[in-house]
Amino acid sequence: MSVFNLLNVGRSAMNATAFGTQTHGQNAANAATEGYTRRVARLQPVAPPPPGGGGARATGARRKIDPYVERRLLGARTEQGGAEARLEVLGGLDLTFADESGNVAEALAAFEGSLRELAAYPGDAGAREAVLGRAEALERAFQSAASQLTGLRDDANDRVQDEVRTLNERLERVASLGNAIARSELSGREASDLRDQRDQVLRELADQVPLTVLPRDDGQVTLLLGGTLQLVDEDGNVSPLGTQVDAATGDVRVTRTVAGAVQDITDQLAPADGARGRLGGTLEARDGALAAARAALDQLAFDLSGAYNAVHAAGIDALGGTGSNLFDPIGAVEGAAASFRVSADVRDQPERLAAAQDATALPSDDRNALALADLAQANTALGGTATATEAYAALLAQVGADVRFARGDLDRTGGLRSQTEALREAVSGVNTDEEMVGLMEFQRAYQASLRVVQTADEMLAELLQLKR
């Protein structure tokens, strides 16, 4: 081995250890960067080694990653994303029914009370005015609740469209990054940063939909939605999702175009069980608990309107008229709460309230007012099995249970995601203490390499001294 070779050993080691310090420095610099995967410098002896050894060389920086943990993290984020989106929609539902003032139950109780007062004084103008006033308050309560629920449904539809739009943008980004990674690695360059970027986009995609990632040797990935629907193919081609508004319901449906044919995949995105992601969670909340609450409120409005109209129409008003409605007749259950309003037959006409059942006994006949008052205790709702108040209480209980379940689900999935992220961080995260130790280690190695060069230099100097 020559002294010159010793110089080469020192030089290569200095380069290699400098690369090591650079890697630890990069890690420390990105300790707070979301999605960053710590790097480990790959150093190896120079091969084939000349006699006595050739020093060290850096072959690159490897990302420290556990693909199984990464896969579990995608699943955990999908579950948590679904639970989060569902609670975002249903949280509004909770608030809609939390308002004590002006809610349906209060308005209903006041309306029922006014009918009892009318029964006591059927000819009294004040009692009649009070009934109409309370009926109008009930109308406002139903319409307000219906309007808020419709607003929540509209918000959910907007969320679905936003989710689909951002999902398509992310799919394009995954495809684009896949191509860049393939090109970079084909030319022998490191693509760790690009892979980090793509992994981060994949995690964001996993928040939205259940994702299956199939990595390929050339650096590209194939993406499947729910394990079956291809979103990005092996050549980096994207199959974007679309949206359509259902003309009958006004709901936004999610579609996918395959061979020119548009498929509705809404139901596949919100399966009865399994992870859903934000898109599926939003759909599940909209078509599940929110739709059920709207239907229950509509049913109550429909039942109430029908029951009171039937009794009122059979009665006789203060002018001797009969056959009038107390509320506008409602033709269908759907949308009944929004259509619930005091009938034009009686609005602003208290004398048209049918408190009597016998025209010859006016104004003393209170029998129809009593019959109307008795509806408060009659099973007019839920198919004749409950009073209106009981039906509304059942609606509140169902809403509360749905929201509570959603909140519990978010806690559970949030905990699962946190634990999985901690696992990922344990493998791929940066610990600055560790990086400082690494820096010191390579600094020491650099100093040793420098000493090798100095030693070689001294040896050469001594050799030259011999010639003099």
Partner 1 sequence: MRVSDRSTFELNRRELLRRAEDLADAQETALTGQRARRPSDDPLAFAVATKERSREIREDVRQRALVAAQTRIDVQEQSLADIATVLRRAEELTIQAANDSLTAEERLNLATEVTAIRDTVRGLMNAEAGDRYVFGGFDDDQPPFDDTGAFTGDLARPQVELADGVRMSVGVSADVPFDTGGPEDVLAVLVDLEAAMAADDEAAIQLNLGRVQGAHERVVSARASLGGQQNAIAVADAVAERMKGEAKVHQDALVGADEVDALIDFQRVQGAYNAAVRIAAELPPPGLVEVG
Contact residues: partner 1, CB under 8 A: 31-32, 34, 38, 94-95, 97-98, 100, 105-106, 108-110, 112-114, 116-117, 119-124, 361, 363-366, 370, 373-374, 376-377, 389-390, 392-394, 396-404, 407, 418, 421-423, 425-434, 436-437, 440
CB of 120 to partner 1, least distance (A): 5
DSSP 227-249: TTEEEE-TTS-B--EEEEE-TTT
Q: Please, which residue, 58 or 388, has the CB nearer to partner 1?
A: 388
Q: Please, which residue, 257 or 377, has the CB nearer to partner 1?
A: 377
The sign of the dihedral angle between the CA atoms of 228, 231, 236, 238 is positive
CB of 290 to partner 1, least distance (A): 14
Q: Please, which residue, 361 or 463, has the CB nearer to partner 1?
A: 361
Q: What's the DSSP call for residue 319?
A: T
| Alpha helices (H) in 249-377, listed in sequence order | 266-269, 277-285, 291-314, 336-339, 367-374
Q: Please, which residue, 38 or 170, has the CB nearer to partner 1?
A: 38
CB of 376 to partner 1, least distance (A): 7
CB of 460 to partner 1, least distance (A): 35
Structure tokens that stand for 339 in this block: 């259509």
Q: Please, which residue, 46 or 110, has the CB nearer to partner 1?
A: 110
Who contacts 126 (Cβ-Cβ below 8 Å, separation ≥6)? Answer: none
Counting DSSP H helices and E strands in the chain, the numbers are 12, 8
CB of 191 to partner 1, least distance (A): 23
Q: Please, which residue, 10 or 81, has the CB nearer to partner 1?
A: 81
Q: Which residue has 């006595």 as its token pair?
A: 52
Backbone angles phi, psi at 273, to 5 degrees: -135, 170
Question: CA–CA separation, 283 vs 276, rounded Å?
Answer: 9
Task: Kindly report whether the peptide bond that precedes residue 271 is cis, defined as omega within 30 degrees of 0.
Answer: no
Q: Is 367 left (phi over 0), alpha (psi -120 to 50) or beta?
A: alpha
Q: Please, which residue, 111 or 340, has the CB nearer to partner 1?
A: 111
